[in-house]
Amino acid sequence: MLSYHDLKPNPRVLRAFTSLDPEEFEILLIPFEKAWQNYINRYYIHKKSRKRRYGGGRKPHLVAIEDKLLFILFYFKVYPLQEVIACLFGMSQGRANEWIYKLTPILEAALGEAQCLPERAPQNLEQVLALCVAVDFMIDGTERPTHRPTDPIEQKDQYSTVVFWPTIDDSSSRHDRLLLGK
């Protein structure tokens, strides 16, 4: 069974499994643990229809909080079949599915608290860029297929001359190869 404590001594392997170094993993672990405690308090401890105290019943396969974070980071980095991740973490496919759906919003909350989520609203882009003064950004313009306008003037304005299907040119009127001089 995979465990964080088995992977921690080998940072290269941990990075291959999660895209994080041990130091970055430990930093993310703090908000993840807070989000996990909030989840437990909301759905288990303060649940009114409980028949047993929290902690009763079968024991989970992912006991340590580090293993929970490793599980969900590994899932989102590699996107293995649930059968594969279940085999690696010593559980059934159904149990792996439950953990994925349980830990996904917890990871999202932890990333939000750590301010690591990407900005989705374009109107907030200036605020995000102002917070990241020392970081260089590059915007990748991509041509994408679209419907062909019937007006010849619109056709001339919107289409790149390099590709052979109608596209909207998001970056500029010249193709990247022309900019490179090739």
Q: Could you count the other beta carbons within 10 Å of the beta carbon of residue 52? A: 7
Task: Tell me the residue type at 22.
Answer: P
Q: Which of 67, 75, 72 is nearest to 2 (CA)?
A: 67
Q: Output 129-134 pairs: Cβ under 8 A, ≥24 positions apart.
A: none
Structure tokens at 90: 């010593």
Q: Has residue 120 got a pLDDT over 80?
A: no
The C-alpha angle 90, 94, 98, rounded to 5 degrees, equals 95
Tens digit of each residue's pLDDT (9 = 90 or more) over 51-92: 666 666 677 778 899 999 999 999 999 999 999 999 999 999
pTM of the model: 0.64
CB 86 within 8 A of CB 96: yes
Backbone angles phi, psi at 57, to 5 degrees: 95, -165
